[in-house]
Structure 1
Amino acid sequence: MNEVAKGTLLAFGLKVIGAGLAFIFNVIIARLLGAEGVGLFFLALSFTTIGSVIGRLGLDNTLLRFIAIHMAKGEISQVKGVYLLGMTMASIASGTLALLGFWLSPWIAIEIFDKPTLVEPLKWMSLAILPFAILNLQAESLKGLKCIRDALLVQSIGIPIVGILLIFPLTKLGGVEGSIWAYLIATIIVTLLGFSFWLKNTMKLEGKPMLYSLKTLLISCKPLFVTALMNRALLPWAPFYFSWGMG
């Protein structure tokens, strides 16, 4: 019981810290960019968020559940196999979306939003779709291993900390695009950190990755994909899109 209580308190504390750091990061962006610039930043970020949710294919809870089940049974080969398959699927999907976003950014910015100034921010932010999708799946996978601290460092704390360190020099260098470079670099660094956490926690576990069933994974993640798309991508950003459409 004490272990459960300690884990709960740790998770709560890290989430509070992460929320505080994210708030500070957002305030800094607003102060540095002004109203117009911060609008461009968050509009581009919304595309990254939606793209990463689509690119994750509903695998968030699927990886968490399957990894936790196999770990409880001591099936290490299955743990490593399902992680490898999930990451491969998400890398292909989110990587494709990142390239499409980069290529189609002029059309999206001008034809859909009638915002020529959105082209460059959207182009650079699209590249964050891949690392942002992967780091979220890494966090869920680490939760399946019961590595809650590592998971929350990746999912809640990493990006704002690195972003705060980078935002001042890069925004001074490139304006809105510079702030997006800071965010992009932060997601890449945190993704690499997530990989290191996974390796640290699984290298000691004996067993090579097995060839996991793609059909099993797809059956599980299909219904979760629709739910994730609505709850994490469309609904949170709906007021923002509406306000920009009316502007």
Structure 2
Amino acid sequence: MISQLVHRIQSMEPARRQFLFHAALAAIFRVLSAAAAFLLSVVAARVLGAEQSGLFFLGMSLAILLGTLCLMGMENALLRFIGLAGEQENANLTNQVFTNALFAVLPFSAMVGGMTYLAAPWLAINVFSKPEATESLRYFSLAIPFVSLFFLNGYALQATRKVIASVCSMQLGVTVLALPALLMLAHYQPNPMAGTASVLYVIASGLVVLSGMWLWFRVPTHRLDTSDRKMPALWKSVPNLWLISATSQAIPWASVVIVGLFVTSEEVAYFSAAQRTSLLISFMLMVINFVAAPRFSALFKADKFDELKRLAQFSTRLMIVFSIPVLTVVLIWPDTIMALFGKEFSQSGQLLVILAVGQTINVMTGSVGFLLTMCGYERDMRNITLFAGILTVTLILIFTSLWGIVGAALAVSIGVSTQNILAVHKVEKRLGFWPIG
């Protein structure tokens, strides 16, 4: 059977073999990243306890939410324009795009981080009704520029197909550094606090930014290039790409923040843990998007529509096959999985099932978001994500006030499903094929 599989892979066209190789490489490191993120949630919950870990997750969610917003859509712009520049072997365009992105994101994220630091006491008391959250919110505000920069580095490396470097420059790097620090914290403090854990996360984020910058500039052709600060095509696309990114990436983190307005710190921890675990369902979607996004842009620009269709449909089938076993395990043993975070978390298995259903629909619709944005239809995706984002936030506010964290989980699943179903229809209309074919 293995020999047949090897023979089948060898008989594939070179482009598809290369895609599978990069997908396999991305999968290995994304597995490590997902496992590390899951382990970080478990360790934080066990070391800090339900109440303190709730404060930790709340601060981290706010930092990642604001950090992704401060990217201003540049992550998708990097994938699109640097991905295209790579196909054309245009090093000047690569450097100009990265420089424009860096010089826009760095001051903006630093300003937002400073404002959040000053507003932390007000946010803790008047927004979250948790005065005890002030310390962790202040510390996590310092991580906001680091979050923006390590994501920026990671997406730039992704666009140049540096798979390992890209994954390590984002969440995997932070998690790998934060995990042992949290474990050691339990030995040095009898009752570890969220504030101390927050400081460790900030330090880890800063170190990952430095390593990511080193990985980018160690390439001989990479340098800062300020010769073209206007770049009309880039800046014209950025507002739409920012709205897409701000809505689609921020909703998972914003949901935790919104839930924190209505429920206790312990329930925030339950919801955050269930949500992060449900993302394991869409693991292969993230892997495929990681590899396919720059290729979508290059194929569309080269008018290779048949290859674009085949790549999109092949990648959808691939991610469905690998996601079904994970979904099966989640549906059969949700309480057991959640109990890994601690005995008190076992009661939140229902949340995991609800969120898993939404992620399953996300996987089955394929890479619809990247198909639209990488092929120049960012306005369509902007409209879809804005509608789905407003719907999700509205439902979270209503459902959480009515049914608590179960309502919040239901709202998130409905929002994710709605966004992807609408995007499938738009892909068929604009590109002329169904990505799930």
Q: TM-score under structure 1 normalisation?
A: 0.92
Please, which moves more after superposition, 34-43 or 210-219? 210-219
8 A contact 2:178–2:204 mirrored in 1: yes
**Equivalent residues in 2 for 1:26-175, closer than 5 Å:** 26-170=41-185, 172-173=188-189, 175=193
Letter paired with 1:212? R
**Cα displacement string for residues 99-126 of structure 1 (whole angstroms, at most 9, x for unaligned residues):** 0111110111111112110101000001
Aligned identity (percent) is 23
Aligned match of 1:186 in 198, 204, 207?
A: 204
Q: Which has the larger radius of gyration?
A: 2
Q: Judging changes above 3 Å, is the alpha-carbon distance between structure 1 residues 91 and 208 closer, same or farther for their aligned structure 2 residues?
A: closer
- Aligned pairs for 1:5-16 (under 5 A) are 5-16=20-31
Q: Secondary structure at the match of 1:57?
A: coil
Q: CA deviation at 1:236?
A: 4.7
1:230 is aligned to 247
CA–CA separation in structure 2 for the residues paired with 1:166 and 1:21: 13
CA pair 36-208 structure 1, distance change in 2 beyond 3 A: closer
* Pair 239,122 (structure 1): closer, same or farther in 2 beyond 3 Å: closer
Shift of 1:175: 2.0
Single out whichever of 130-139 and 223-232 deviates more from structure 2.
223-232
CA distance in 1, matches of 2:263, 2:196: 27
Distance 1:21 1:246, change over 3 A: closer
1:205 aligns with 2:221: yes
Change (3 A) 1:169 1:239: closer
Kindly indicate whether the alpha-carbon contact (under 8 Å) linking 2:64 and 2:253 is maintained by their aligned counterparts in 1.
no
Q: In 1, are the aligned partners of 2:61 and 2:254 still within 8 Å (CA)?
A: yes
Give the Cα separation in 2 of the matches to 1:208 and 1:175. 41
- Separation in 2, partners of 1:240, 1:75: 42
Once the two structures are superposed, what CA deviation does each residue of 1:9-57 show, in whole Å capped at 9, x if it has no partner? Answer: 0001111111001111111110111111011011111210111121100
1:193 aligned partner, one-letter code:
S
Tell me by how many angstroms 1:141 deviates: 0.5
Moved more, 216-225 or 101-110: 216-225
Task: For 1:179, give the aligned amino acid.
Answer: A
Paired residue secondary structure (1:114): coil
Alignment partner of 1:64: what SS?
helix
Contact 1:170 / 1:182 at 8 angstroms: preserved in 2? Answer: no
2:37 partner amino acid: A
What secondary structure does 2:129 align onto? coil
Which shifted more, 43-52 or 164-173? 164-173
| Whole-Å separation in 1 of the counterparts to 2:95 and 2:252 | 34
**When the two structures are aligned, how many residues end up with a matched partner?**
245
Q: Residues 207 and 39 (structure 1 numbering): CA distance in 2 closer, same or farther, change over 3 Å?
A: closer
Is the deviation greater in 182-191 or in 148-157? 148-157
Gaps of 5+ in 2: 1-13, 265-437
1:177 to 191, 195, 211: 195
Is the Cα–Cα contact under 8 Å of residues 15 and 156 in structure 1 kept in the other structure? no
Task: Provide closer, same or farther for how the CA distance between residues 24 and 170 of structure 1 changes in structure 2, counting only shifts above 3 A.
Answer: same
3-state DSSP of counterpart to 1:56: coil
Q: Distance in 2 between matches of 1:92 and 1:207?
A: 19
Alignment RMSD: 1.9
Counterpart residue identity of residue 159, structure 1: V
- Structure in which a larger fraction of residues adopt helix: 1
What's the CA shift for 1:235?
Answer: 4.4
**2:143–2:202 Cα contact (<8 Å) kept:** yes
* Larger RCO of the pair (alpha carbons < 8 Å, separation 6+): 1
Determine if contact 2:146/2:205 at 8 Å carries over to the other structure: yes
